[in-house]
Structure 1
Amino acid sequence: MFKRWNRNRKLFVLFTIICAGALVSVLFHFKYLYTALIFLQSIKIRPVQISSGKYLKTNGHHNFGTNNWRSYYPEVAEYLSNIEKGNIQWPIAVLETTSPKFSFVEIIPPPKNTTYKVGDVLQAIIHAKNGYDIAKTYGSDYFHVRLIGIGRDGKPNGDALSPEVKDHGNGSYTIVAPLLWKGKTRLTVELVHSSEAIATLINSTSGFVGPGIIFYGTYSKGDAKECNVGLEIRDQANPPCNFSRPKLGITWYCYRPKNKKCTDLEWIGLREVEEESIKLGKRPLFTTNVTWKVSIKGSGSTFGVSATDFLNKMLHYQPPCNHLSGVREEANETRFGKISGMYMDGRWVSFQCQNIETKYLVRASKCLQNKIIYIIGDSTLRQWYMLLAKVLEFKREHGDGRIWQRPRHGRKAASNVTVHYFGHGSPLHGAGPPLSRPYVVDTLSTIHPRGTGKGVYIVLNLALHFCLVDTVVYIRRLTAIRRSVRNLLKRRPDVVVIIRGCIRHKNSKIAVPSEWFSFQLCKILRGIFSELPNVGFIDTWSMTSAHPPWDMHPSNPAVEEHFALFMSYICPIA
């Protein structure tokens, strides 16, 4: 009896020691466990079907999806690679991420020791630090930098530009900004996302079913079933209906209806599920004015710039606008860095060519005479069509108001101007029948102008609706579109094709949680089309980065600036 009690006592003591050790270990690593728990709450492991017929598990602990996009964004590619190799820990506690409280920007040399004049180049360095005031040793933070003119009243006067920010990959960033107006000038630097937050965004969207958005397709018998670019296999005997066209870069699946037959869809809709969304603005890495979209120390530095005739001379020697200027980011590169223009008194001034002012939009009827314009893209390009409908006074169209992406066609007989608008194919965050969302390659295949195609202009853009799924979906789609554009230009070499860039925006929605996705996709867009000659580019990212308001759907004056730049490629300077 005594021996048994003694043996039990020893086991009890041993058990107590093990528990105590475990408790100490938990307390010691609490901050990492807490971070991990927060992280695990936000992810789901979900097998998906892709066009090759293979299956993937998405949103794993260190799963950042496919990596073929990384060559277009080498700074982030290096950061993700280091995480995957175990050289950098992620996720980490919020205090260990880049902190706007301790990160700072310094102008080199300090303005108080320098006299600036128009034509000089301002240089500044951003030093990233974490919440413990310790310097970061890796890059990939996302900053928004602007140089703005300040009037006598102390308010912005309409002069602005957004300079290049060079990431050195070691926690420091260089700003190179041309000084192109006289008077007071202010440098502003805002931390939009820490590198750790960017890794979280990539991880959260590394699958084929975007968080917070559920598409559904309605079959002819009235059954409405979930659809997407990839779906979980729930029943091996009855896999999802496959509406994909892999050779055209299109993947689209829908669960089978009750009768198990994969008939054509009559309607594609969607609904938002907030509890499954990324929820920026509430999570620790995405708290407004704390860890998300916050000015860093040193932002707001103001200095004077004296007048010279540098800008007048520079603009005097600008070439006419030519669509062959190219899509590559390097096409904009000068001694000022990769910057395509600036706002002066609220008007966009291109550094690429002599662009016309928006006041000449009243002459659009004459400029576009005998022209056919195809506008193909999302709702931000639909704004172009609506602008032309107003300027050219098209006859009002009647249609289903629920279907914003429906094709639209306008004509002004007096000037022989025809304008077509088409949305792009799924994924598209708009309800309607499949015919309301034709795939871009299908739209391009219907364009058969006479002769060499002279007088035909095509403007393309798609990006925003691809934010929530793995970037391979976007790359496949763009690759197919590039091939289609190349074939069109072979058939009709005088057709002018122009890619419109992406839009910088501050607002966040379930479908487009962060502007960083637009930034990432714009790099991919430019990279893919840079390989195609004879295609032009309108750098709306630089335009919308430099000047507010920052909305997903730019204001009417901003849209007028974008279209005026497009008109500059068609009409000579008035």
Structure 2
Amino acid sequence: MAYAQIKGCVILTVGLQFFLVLWSYMYDDGKGAKPLPRPLQHQPRDGSDGVAIKTQTPRNPEASPASAMKDPGLGAEEWDRIQRALHWGGPDHQVTTVNMSTSPDNSTFVINDLKNTYHVGDELHVTIVAKNFAGVPKRYGGDFFQAKVYSGKQKASVFGEVLDHQNGTYSARFTLPWAGEASVAVRLIHSSEAVLVLKQHRNTDSDRIYFHGYFVGKNPQGARVEERVECNIKWDGVVLSAQRNCCCEYQDARTRLTWQCRKPGTLPCDTLVYHSVGGYRNRMTALEKILLDSKHVNRWLKGDARLIRVIASNANIGVREPCKPGLPTLIPAGFYLNNVWTSFVCGARHFTANDTAQCLKDKHIYIMGDSTSRQWFDFLIQTVPTLRRMNLHTMFQVGPLMAVDVQNNIDLHYRSHGLPLRCFKTPMSSLHYMSNEIDDMVGGPHTVIVFNMWAHFTNYPLTFFTYHVFLIRRAVVALLRRAPGTKVVIKTANTGYKDIYGSDWFSMQLDRILREAFRDVGVYILDVWQMTACHYNTENIHPAPVVIKNEIDILLSFVCPQ
């Protein structure tokens, strides 16, 4: 997923009380910005008649005014709770120079009340102090810090929870889960000033990533031609053109989501055949570029280098109940020791190739999402010798892809989540919305559905992503009602990019929406954020095989808890 390659209605009732997500990094002081309108209030800007039509069939841009989109099950109270979970503090004044921003060289951290020895299971607390480039302590919050305790010798690490006190200081809390020596590491992912830049561009610069549509047909002279134009989603805040009659529009009948492309020079709208990523626009100012350059982003702090000594104890922190739906995500969710992840969420097992085949025996496994979930598809094929990839003559980034194991009666599938998708040139007909795919599934005790969605949505308004998520939730709830034996696993976002197109801060915000939407639905939310944030490998949007192996072990532990 590198940038040149990227990747019946049931309304769910949830509790109205505000829930602070367990893995939240920031303290919500209740002073958020003006609330966003709920996604269900969205209406197409050009005024269509709202009549559902077939997927990828052009619409008449001259149609009459629209009715509102159908509510996918998102209530006003739930949307308010999501917005509060997304709240992020920051500067209360205009940022005019880099010197005003948080300096990774001047900021520091100290271990609070360091003891001579700790026992396994004890907590460790650290204070982080943010300073600007003039060395002056900051008086407001909003910096994006990540912290871990680690041991290079033992190939061990554990993720820490960071709490923002909104005054330039932060607290980090750790559980010490292994015996031996360890150190603390804190890094500044983004200064609060850089987060402000990310916010502004997400809200006003959604077409900084754009797409191409390829129209194929015969021109007036009878010659076969292909015409390429710019395309993008149609949503409030995403403007492809201000001109009337500029575009061809394609509305999906069930999701009511609309894709739009500029009209080609000679061909009609109904000749759209292919889709691909188009390119990237960098509209940042000179100051913004500096705030997001490599000298200011993803930098380790110089802080307390004292060793932490941990000795064994009687605390049995590794024992957990079997993996099942509805378990909360903890901080920490687990830890690495000798490159093996031990979960604190549930009693995850570790699977050999033969164990994997036996676990998946008689199963239909459907994996949907982006290239980070396609890594799971590829890993399972590499792990189980009897799984054979079928050549469906499709584009590997998009799918559909399929592998079968006749001996164990396994069929494994992968399909991308559909538009918007950054990919090589691929047929439009291969791009399916996940909610539609789930609606069309029979489900049952032999069906496992795994999906993720985040990396290709980072540059769009939060309302657009939320609408997508709640369409999927509605489809999942309906599936579980008609086929309650179906196993549904959500793979969370993982860390990776740090730039204006796909920053971890964008990903984390989208991940909060996904978790909030599904926390009471009866699915298993598999946290890979912490697994990728605290591992010693160089961070990559596509994690290393050692990380994928541990992710797959948790997936299989959910499918086969005993």
TM-score band by shorter chain is 0.7 to 0.9
Q: Which runs of 5+ in 2 are unaligned?
A: 1-40, 47-77, 218-225
- Check the 8 A contact 2:215/2:267 in 1, yes or no: no
Q: Which moved more, 1:380-389 or 1:126-135?
A: 126-135
Aligned pairs for 1:550-565 (under 5 A) are 550-565=539-554
Match of 1:367 in 2: 359
Match of 2:508 in 1: 519
Distance 1:106-1:401 versus aligned 2 partners, 3 A rule? same
Match of 2:460 in 1: 469
Match of 2:491 in 1: 500
Specify the code of the residue in structure 2 equivalent to 1:412: D
Local SS of the residue matching 1:343: strand
Match of 1:529 among 510, 515, 518: 518
Match of 2:233 among 226, 229, 232: 229
- Check the 8 A contact 2:145/2:189 in 1, yes or no: yes
Q: CA-to-partner distance for each residue in 1:198-225, whole Å, 9 max, x for gaps?
A: 11012122246432x3301112323222
Q: Which moved more, 1:379-388 or 1:114-123?
A: 114-123
Specify the code of the residue in structure 1 equivalent to 2:314: D
CA–CA separation in structure 1 for the residues paired with 2:172 and 2:405: 47
Aligned residues with identical type, % of pairs? 28
Distance 1:476-1:523 versus aligned 2 partners, 3 A rule? same
Local SS of the residue matching 2:456: helix
Match of 1:286 in 2: 292
Aligned pairs for 1:97-112 (under 5 A) are 97-109=101-113, 111=114
Distance 1:403-1:271 versus aligned 2 partners, 3 A rule? farther
Match of 1:119 in 2: 121
Match of 2:210 in 1: 214
Distance 1:233-1:105 versus aligned 2 partners, 3 A rule? closer
CA displacement at 1:378 relative to structure 2: 0.4
Match of 2:530 among 542, 553, 565: 542
CA–CA separation in structure 2 for the residues paired with 1:205 and 1:254: 21
CA–CA separation in structure 2 for the residues paired with 1:300 and 1:468: 38
Match of 2:260 among 231, 249, 253: 253
Specify the code of the residue in structure 1 equivalent to 2:431: R
CA–CA separation in structure 1 for the residues paired with 2:85 and 2:290: 24
Distance 1:398-1:89 versus aligned 2 partners, 3 A rule? same
Match of 1:349 in 2: 342
CA–CA separation in structure 1 for the residues paired with 2:481 and 2:88: 38
Q: CA-to-partner distance for each residue in 1:300-349, whole Å, 9 max, x for gaps?
A: 44222222232xx2223x11111232xxxxx234xxxx321111211010
CA–CA separation in structure 2 for the residues paired with 1:249 and 1:298: 52
CA–CA separation in structure 1 for the residues paired with 2:131 and 2:500: 30
Mark the structure with the bigger radius of gyration: 1
CA–CA separation in structure 1 for the residues paired with 2:342 and 2:254: 41
Specify the code of the residue in structure 2 equivalent to 1:415: N
Local SS of the residue matching 2:531: helix
Match of 1:137 in 2: 139
CA–CA separation in structure 2 for the residues paired with 1:542 and 1:301: 24
Match of 1:442 in 2: 436
Match of 1:6 in 2: none
- Check the 8 A contact 1:403/1:436 in 2, yes or no: no
Match of 2:391 in 1: 398
Match of 1:79 in 2: 89
Local SS of the residue matching 2:155: strand
CA–CA separation in structure 2 for the residues paired with 1:169 and 1:76: 15
- Check the 8 A contact 1:75/1:167 in 2, yes or no: no
Distance 1:427-1:95 versus aligned 2 partners, 3 A rule? same
Local SS of the residue matching 2:429: helix
1:340 corresponds to 2:336 = no
Q: Which runs of 5+ in 1 are unaligned?
A: 1-49, 56-67, 150-154, 326-330
- Check the 8 A contact 2:229/2:264 in 1, yes or no: yes
CA displacement at 1:435 relative to structure 2: 2.5
Local SS of the residue matching 1:324: coil
CA displacement at 1:94 relative to structure 2: 0.9
CA–CA separation in structure 2 for the residues paired with 1:235 and 1:296: 46
Match of 1:265 in 2: 272
Specify the code of the residue in structure 1 equivalent to 2:556: M
Distance 1:517-1:308 versus aligned 2 partners, 3 A rule? same
Distance 1:468-1:486 versus aligned 2 partners, 3 A rule? same
- Check the 8 A contact 2:392/2:400 in 1, yes or no: no
- Check the 8 A contact 1:75/1:139 in 2, yes or no: no
CA–CA separation in structure 2 for the residues paired with 1:396 and 1:291: 44
Give the number of aligned pairs: 477
Distance 1:227-1:102 versus aligned 2 partners, 3 A rule? same
Local SS of the residue matching 1:499: strand
CA–CA separation in structure 2 for the residues paired with 1:351 and 1:370: 29
1:303 corresponds to 2:294 = no
Q: CA-to-partner distance for each residue in 1:228-255, whole Å, 9 max, x for gaps?
A: 0146464744132221348626231111
Distance 1:209-1:115 versus aligned 2 partners, 3 A rule? closer
- Check the 8 A contact 1:107/1:123 in 2, yes or no: yes
Q: Which has the higher contact order (CA 8 A, sep 6+)?
A: 2
Specify the code of the residue in structure 2 equivalent to 1:295: W
- Check the 8 A contact 2:297/2:498 in 1, yes or no: no
CA–CA separation in structure 2 for the residues paired with 1:479 and 1:348: 31
Specify the code of the residue in structure 2 equivalent to 1:309: N
- Check the 8 A contact 1:279/1:510 in 2, yes or no: no
CA–CA separation in structure 1 for the residues paired with 2:142 and 2:516: 19
Specify the code of the residue in structure 2 equivalent to 1:529: F
- Check the 8 A contact 2:146/2:160 in 1, yes or no: no
Distance 1:299-1:527 versus aligned 2 partners, 3 A rule? farther
CA displacement at 1:169 relative to structure 2: 1.8
Match of 2:380 among 383, 388, 401: 388
TM value normalised by structure 2: 0.79
CA–CA separation in structure 2 for the residues paired with 1:279 and 1:366: 56
- Check the 8 A contact 1:144/1:189 in 2, yes or no: yes
- Check the 8 A contact 1:124/1:175 in 2, yes or no: yes
CA displacement at 1:561 relative to structure 2: 1.0
CA–CA separation in structure 2 for the residues paired with 1:519 and 1:398: 35
CA–CA separation in structure 2 for the residues paired with 1:458 and 1:471: 25
Distance 1:298-1:69 versus aligned 2 partners, 3 A rule? farther
Local SS of the residue matching 1:519: helix
Q: CA-to-partner distance for each residue in 1:250-278, whole Å, 9 max, x for gaps?
A: 231111123474315210012324x6366
1:242 corresponds to 2:249 = yes
CA displacement at 1:457 relative to structure 2: 0.9
Distance 1:367-1:495 versus aligned 2 partners, 3 A rule? same
- Check the 8 A contact 1:127/1:172 in 2, yes or no: yes
CA–CA separation in structure 2 for the residues paired with 1:282 and 1:236: 30
Match of 2:99 in 1: 95
* CA-based RMSD: 2.7
- Check the 8 A contact 2:143/2:195 in 1, yes or no: yes
